[in-house]
Chain A
Amino acid sequence: GAGVSQSPSNKVTEKGKDVELRCDPISGHTALYWYRQSLGQGLEFLIYFQGNSAPDKSGLPSDRFSAERTGGSVSTLTIQRTQQEDSAVYLCASSSLLRGGGAFFGQGTRLTVV
């Protein structure tokens, strides 16, 4: 497709389980971002990939969170030993290097930890 695709759209998991969230960015976009939005909060930066450079992981809230981007395209965000405070909408976005061109977001994955 032409846009950013995320899967699954919804995920309910038990506390303590691991989850994987997937993002397919727009073809040709070298930058990929993960954000999350908790209830009533803004968008919280998690991690940023740019080409073959080392990712900016400064936003990951704990070592239970990790992400990888294979072949400069698809990205997977993994949350280990999920906690209830991990419940949020996880948003992936991609962009070209054009400054000011904005990032294009997927529809998000709503994660609920019960």
Chain B
Amino acid sequence: DQQVKQNSPSLSVQEGRISILNCDYTNSMFDYFLWYKKYPAEGPTFLISISSIKDKNEDGRFTVFLNKSAKHLSLHIVPSQPGDSAVYFCAAQGNTGNQFYFGTGTSLTVIP
């Protein structure tokens, strides 16, 4: 049973515009949420995380928003750059252990 879901397998955005990647989860016991970026033939790279006690965390061009009541989080990238083109994975970590639960990923293409 997929506890973390990314319903959009792909997204295309013009350079300079905002990219919004979405993620939904089902387990209310998750207390940390993370975003990873993956280029082909490489392992995922940690981007940004957010604790369940917050609703927003910002790091440069990347901002993650958490809506606990909706069990939804999103990653905003602004302005988008061609180098941001990659697969983005949403992940969650439960408060009873350190296992990470990953979504299926969203492939972002930023068009120059």
Given A99-B93, A100-B93, verify A35-B46 contact (CB < 8 Å). no
- Once the chains bind, are A33 and B103 in contact (CB under 8 Å)? no
Measured CA separation A105–B39 after assembly (Å): 12
Give the residue of A45, A56, A91 whose beta carbon is less than 8 angstroms from that of B101: A45
CB A49 to nearest CB in B, in angstroms, measures: 10
Q: Is B98 an interface residue (CB 8 A)?
A: yes
* Chain A hits for B100, CB < 8 A: 33, 45, 93, 103
Size of B's binding interface in residues, CB under 8 A:
27
- Once the chains bind, are A33 and B99 in contact (CB under 8 Å)? yes
Measured CA separation A31–B100 after assembly (Å): 11
* Chain B hits for A103, CB < 8 A: 46, 100
9 closest A-B pairs by beta carbon, nearest first, are A105-B43, A102-B46, A42-B104, A43-B102, A100-B32, A100-B49, A105-B44, A107-B43, A42-B102
28 contacts between A and B (CB under 8 A): A4-B43, A35-B102, A41-B104, A42-B2, A42-B6, A43-B89, A43-B91, A43-B102, A56-B99, A93-B44, A93-B100, A95-B98, A99-B32, A99-B51, A99-B93, A100-B50, A100-B51, A100-B93, A102-B34, A102-B36, A103-B46, A105-B43, A105-B44, A105-B45, A106-B43, A107-B41, A107-B42, A108-B42
